[in-house]
Structure 1
């Protein structure tokens, strides 16, 4: 029993570490606005094959993330985890798989500099560069700050592991009672 708890705790800590090490690169991946751009000469022919190939690859990466994220939230997946006796680390698996999917997307993403969706050149204008940098910093502070208002250890799967032997059964019973109380007839 102690060995199983220790293994679950190591899995939860590893998932937390993987997610933690994914968030900083993800912030840079989503926010970096000084991407070197190649300005296309009007006389150059459009390489539609390269454009289509890059777009399809990036769409595939996004779909891969959506499928991974959705499949791990299905009752089938949860039933499999339950049958294997891994309910305590289900959230940790979900977090780690999401982090690995995001890392794969960041490493495999194909930038299409010839055809940007929008161009705001901040390299020549220091005030614009500072404006966009401050907007990004403020937005990420709000996003990361909001996570501290949530129960982060539970969100990342650490609490489930820590409470496995002590309060897990009690929390499960409370959840079942509350669910039964709020279903069909509303609050009684």
Structure 2
């Protein structure tokens, strides 16, 4: 593939990600999108549960397996190394689109907050969760995370340098603030149906398992330094007095 084609591929993958990311906000909130987590044809709950868990598993397996170093070494025999991250982003977006399209509602109510002040507070925290997730990507290099940095260096014909280990801002309080933001938006909502509960619980399980594998890779990359960091900083929930100055 030519440098220009790889750069265009990376940009297209990134903009597809932006679209799916924005749609996820509406999908969870049930606002501003043609199909939210509680929309779609009603079917028997065992079928809905099976389909929905399968969709979460599809996303989780793709998202986690393709992120592992061993898979990357094999995958870059098929795709150009500069396009590896963009391909990961592309396929993650496709997995989410499949989930949006095929998700089956389970409309039974689990909870619904009536107090207007509490509903307002929960929607505020929901929005804050999205802000935490987005800002976290920029703290560690948003453009590297989503493949643009790699294709840009490839297009220029320069080497894409690796990042050193560092812990800016939110990363001094929790090891995975991006996931903290997602946990906030999954759970801090004023209305929860069974279908929404399945989505939130399934994605939470993926986050817990996925970060275990991610931390194994980080220990392999940074060794004792990351072990010390993990020992002093919580994974998802900030704890007073537990932070690092690295």
Q: What's the TM-score once normalised by structure 2's chain length?
A: 0.56
* 3-state secondary structure, aligned to 2:105: coil
Q: Runs in 1 of length 4+ with deviation above 6 angstroms?
A: 181-184
1:139 aligns with 2:129: yes
Alignment of 1:151-170 (within 5 A): 151-164=141-154, 165-168=156-159
**What CA deviation, in whole Å up to 9, does each residue of 1:33-60 have, x standing for no partner?**
8x898xxxxxxxxxxx811111111111
The offset of 1:131, in angstroms, is 2.0
* 3-state secondary structure, aligned to 2:111: coil
CA distance in 1, matches of 2:118, 2:79: 54
CA distance in 1, matches of 2:30, 2:67: 31
Larger CA Rg, structure 1 vs 2: 1
CA distance in 2, matches of 1:111, 1:75: 36
8 Å CA contact 2:37–2:103 kept in 1: the answer is no
- 2:28 matched residue in structure 1: 30
Alignment of 1:11-50 (within 5 A): 11-32=9-30, 50=44
Alignment of 1:91-110 (within 5 A): 91-110=85-104
- The 3 A distance-change label for structure 1 pair 11 and 119 is same
- Which deviates the most, 89-98 or 139-148? 139-148
- The 3 A distance-change label for structure 1 pair 131 and 167 is same
Q: What's the TM-score once normalised by structure 1's chain length?
A: 0.71
CA distance in 2, matches of 1:166, 1:136: 42
Pairing partner for 2:64 from 66, 70, 76: 70
Runs (5+) with no aligned partner, structure 2: 165-220, 225-246
CA distance in 1, matches of 2:14, 2:159: 20
* 3-state secondary structure, aligned to 1:119: strand
- 1:10 matched residue in structure 2: 8
Runs (5+) with no aligned partner, structure 1: 38-48, 175-180
The offset of 1:64, in angstroms, is 0.9
The offset of 1:183, in angstroms, is 7.2
- 2:105 matched residue in structure 1: 111
The offset of 1:109, in angstroms, is 1.2
Provide the aligned length of Structure 1 versus Structure 2: 158
The offset of 1:66, in angstroms, is 1.6
- 2:192 matched residue in structure 1: none
- 1:127 matched residue in structure 2: 117
* 3-state secondary structure, aligned to 1:163: helix
The offset of 1:70, in angstroms, is 3.0
**What CA deviation, in whole Å up to 9, does each residue of 1:61-115 have, x standing for no partner?**
111112212332355642443223511100000001101111211222111112x
